[in-house]
A and B are shown apart, each in its own frame.
Chain A
Amino acid sequence: GDSVTQTEGLVTLTKGLPVMLNCTYQTTYSPFLFWYVQHLNEAPKLLLKSSTDNKRTEHQGFYATLHKSSSSFHLQKSSVQLSDSALYFCALRTNAYKVIFGKGTHLHVLP
């Protein structure tokens, strides 16, 4: 069946360093992937989305490229800030017309 896998539960980095949060997926349908960010005590909000193979999509300094050959949609940022500390979810639109989420990755940025 359809699934989304985020491998890291917690990523801790010092401010100014680059980050990559991993996301891989399985689906038999044409993939449509999302990244959502949830700050402490807030609701998740859309960060970026894509359905186009090998095209980079960017928002608020974050970027991701959908690679259908490797079923991946990793989230990256070249220089993390303290305000980037949050829970990040990768999500997949499935062929059952629903959106399923990965387990999430906590990003903790140190001063």
Chain B
Amino acid sequence: EAAVTQSPRNKVTVTGGNVTLSCRQTNSHNYMYWYRQDTGHGLRLIHYSYGAGNLQIGDVPDGYKATRTTQEDFFLLLELASPSQTSLYFCASSRDINTEVFFGKGTRLTVV
């Protein structure tokens, strides 16, 4: 099965802090995604990419930056973290847009 690895799995930071969430997939997938999951909101797309160096804006991008440095690696950056960004973050990948999306195990971020 396709592998998507996220790190760290848990993170606590202070308001105004700088946080980087990492994601690596070893499936040679083209598409990678960052979602946040919150009760009552489901999964919301933050940013996505369809190849190294490519970046597309998702539905809830405010306060987040992302970089796709290689085919395998996709990073989510919170440069001035706020309590509203406390959430469960999932990275995911897919071979193309009509194929299965494989999710990582998630990163629980708490901003205090």
Q: Which residues of A contact B (CB under 8 A)?
A: 6, 9, 32, 34, 36, 42-46, 49, 51, 89, 91, 93, 96-104
Contact = CB atoms under 8 A, between A and B. Distances in A.
A46 to B, nearest CB: 4
Interface in B44-82: 44-45, 48, 50, 56, 58-59
Contacts of A102: 42
Nearest to A4: B42
Interface stretch (B11-19, B20-28, B102-110): B102-110
A98 B94 CA distance: 10
Given A89-B42, A89-B43, A99 B97 contact: yes
A44 B102 CA distance: 8
Interface of B: 31, 33, 35, 40-45, 48, 50, 56, 58-59, 90, 94, 97-98, 100-101, 103-106
Contacts of B56: 96-98
Given A44-B43, A98-B48, A103-B41, A51 B59 contact: no
Given A44-B103, A45-B103, A98-B56, A103 B98 contact: no
Given A49-B100, A89-B42, A93-B98, A100 B59 contact: yes
Nearest to B35: A101
A43 B106 contact: yes
Contacts of A9: 40
B104 A93 contact: no
B44 to A, nearest CB: 8
A110 B83 CA distance: 36
User: What 10 A-B pairs are tightest by C-beta distance, nearest first?
Assistant: A103-B42, A43-B103, A101-B43, A46-B100, A104-B42, A97-B97, A101-B42, A44-B103, A98-B48, A93-B97
Contacts of A46: 100-101
A93 to B, nearest CB: 5
A89 to B, nearest CB: 6
A44 B93 CA distance: 12
Contacts of B101: 34, 36, 44, 46, 91, 99
